[in-house]
Amino acid sequence: MIGFAGLRLKDFFWREGALGRGDLSDAEWAFIGPLLPPERGRWSRPAGDNRRFLNGMLYVLRVGCPWRDMHERYGKWNSVYVRFRRWAEQGVWDAMLESLVELGLTDDWSCMIGSTTIRGHSQAAGAGGAHKEGFGRSRGGFTSKIHARSDGQGRPLGFVLTGGEASDYKAAAALIELPVAKPRMMLADKGYDGDEVRTALLMKGVLPVIPPKSNRRETIACDFKAYKDRNRIERMFNRIKQFRRIATRYDKAAASYLGFLALASVKLWTPTYVNRA
C-alpha cells in the first residue's frame, strides 16, 4: 500500500531492531551491558531483554514522560518501571557510576563541587516525609537541590540530594568524603568558603581554591587562574539538565530521582570510554 510521497504505509511504523533516538549503540551496550545484573524470568514468564529495558529507561529519562507514556517498542511500561525501581533500591545505578569512575580515566588534577536547584512537579508532591525525600520550600517554591562533585573535565563523580532551601555548605562534607581518587585542588564558589571546609580539604592534602567572602575577617589568597576552570561543573549541570526527567523532578522518592541522576551520569561518561576504544 502506497502512502504520501511514495512512502509505504509500513514506513510509518517502527521497524524491529532499529535504533531509536537516544538508544544505546552496539558499542555503548558492549561496554555498559556487563555492568547490569542478569535477570531471570519469574514463574512462567521469561525475563525481558536488559538492553531493550535500559533503552526504555533512557527514553523516559530523556523525554521526561510518565512511565505509562513510554514507547511500546521497549515493552510493557510497568515491567520497565519495576526493573528500574528495583535496580535503584539495590544500588545498581550508583554501582555503575562508581565502576566508570574507578576505571581510572578521571582527571585527578582538580575536582569541583557545586549545586543547582530543581523545581518539583505537582505530581511529586505527597511523599511521606518530604524532607527525607529531598524536598523543601524555597523562594522558587517546591524544590530540590542537587549537590554534585565532578572531575577536572566536568564529568560527574557523585551527588547529594537535599531540599531546595538547604545551604551548599551543609553538603560539602559528604561531597568531600566521596570514595574517589584524591585531587590536588578542589574548586568551589564562595558558598563553600568556611574554615571547616578548608580545614577538611587541607587535612586530606587537597588545596582549596575557593574565593573568600567579602565579610571574611582574615584575607585568604585564591588562585583565580585555576578557579576559571570551575565553569566546567556548571556546564555539567547544563548537560545533565538536557534530560527532562532531571530538569524537573517528577519522582516522589529520592531513590528514584537519584537513580535517574546516576543513569544520566553514566550516559555522559559513556562517550569517554567508547570513543577511546
pLDDT of residue 136: 85
Closest CA to 48 of 90, 89, 79: 79
CA 203 to chain centre: 29
pLDDT of residue 231: 95
**Between 15 and 98, where is the model more confident?**
98
- Which CATH number does 107-251 carry? 3.30.420
Q: Residue 57 burial by CB count (10 A; 0-12/13-18/19+): exposed, middle or buried?
A: buried
d(C-alpha 120, C-alpha 164), whole Å:
10
Write out pLDDT tens, residues 215-235: 888 888 899 999 999 999 999
Closest CA to 264 of 21, 60, 61: 61
With cell 568556611, the residue in question is 194
Query: What CA–CA distances, in Å, run from 35 to 30, 87, 93, 99, 143?
Result: 10, 12, 9, 8, 32
Q: What is the band of 52 on the pLDDT scale with cuts at 50, 70, 90? A: very high
Give the mean pLDDT of 66-91.
94
pLDDT of residue 9: 41
Write out pLDDT tens, residues 152-192: 999 999 999 999 888 898 899 999 999 988 999 999 999 99
For CA atoms 210, 196, 202, 262, the dihedral sign is negative
Whether 144 and 117 have beta carbons less than 8 Å apart is answered as yes
**Between 251 and 138, where is the model more confident?**
251
What angle, 0 to 180 degrees and rounded to 10, lies between the N-to-C axes of helices 77-90 and 50-63?
90
Domain range summary for the chain, segments of one domain joined by +: 107-251
Highest mean pLDDT, choosing among 30-34, 50-54, 57-61: 57-61
pLDDT of residue 105: 66
